[in-house]
Amino acid sequence: MTSELINKRVPVLDKGWIELTDMLPHPNTGISGDLAIVNAARVSFLGESKGEEADKKLLFYLLRNAHTSPFEMVEFKFRVHAPLVTWWQWVRHRTWNFNAQSGRYSPFDESAFYVPGVWRLQAKDNKQASEGELDPETNQALMQKLLNHYEQGYALYQEALQAGVAKEMARFFLPGFSVYYTWVAKVDAHNLMHFLRLRMAADAQYEIRVYAQAIYDNFFAPALPWTAEAFEKYILKSRQD
């Protein structure tokens, strides 16, 4: 099952995507991620698998009691195409390793802008959140203005490039928050669970929440089914309670 996840690309938002490019343990080893966690825990006693029932019981014990270091033995490496507004929140998780596309070297194309499906309203009781949606007529009018803004900014960007301006300066004309970038991002399972706990939550901004959910549904849970089950039972449920 894990081998089928490598290079699988999942669409997110209007133009975004995420794919798993590699993981540790690699599927070629024949060792599952869950078993790698169990084996790492048992290395203290120079032991390995004791059968599925005992192995799963140990993994649940580890997560329930916050013995997290064995979960750091499993790693995920992703390629992600996301708007900058998403990345500004993602990079706050400093336990991840990142390397990003550079607008100094690679020119942007005219479709490299995020267009939201709707305009969300400012939440009344949370200064950093949104709730509800703008009425359809105003939503459509603002959406057209956003598209016009993108078109004008990109036209100026192209004009600057054609005039010989360096790419690193021509990009000043591009609308900053919405430009899509491609990144390579790597993280271990322990720190990925921390990311998922925060970014799948209902109060996380939609533009990062959908990426977190895509990671969980398409990569984390399929690759680590025991860990995902324990994660839901001991971490997500405790947050809900």
Q: Which of 104, 199, 209, 239 is catalytic?
A: 199
Of 88, 142, 85, 80, the C-alpha closest to 117 is 142
Residue 50's φ and ψ, nearest 5 degrees, are -120, 20
Output phi, psi for 169, to 5 deg: -105, -35
46: which 2 tokens? 């120079």
**Residue 110 burial (CB count, 10 A):** 12
Is residue 199 among the annotated active site residues?
yes
Answer whether 58's CB lies under 8 Å from 41's CB.
yes
Return the biggest CA–CA distance within the chain: 68
Q: Could you tell me which of 120, 105, 111, 107 has the C-alpha nearest to residue 83? A: 111
> Cβ atoms within 10 A of the Cβ of 79, count?
16
- Angle, helices 189-199 vs 206-215, to 10°: value is 140
Helix, strand, coil share (%) of the chain residues, nearest 5: 50, 20, 30
Catalytic site positions: 199
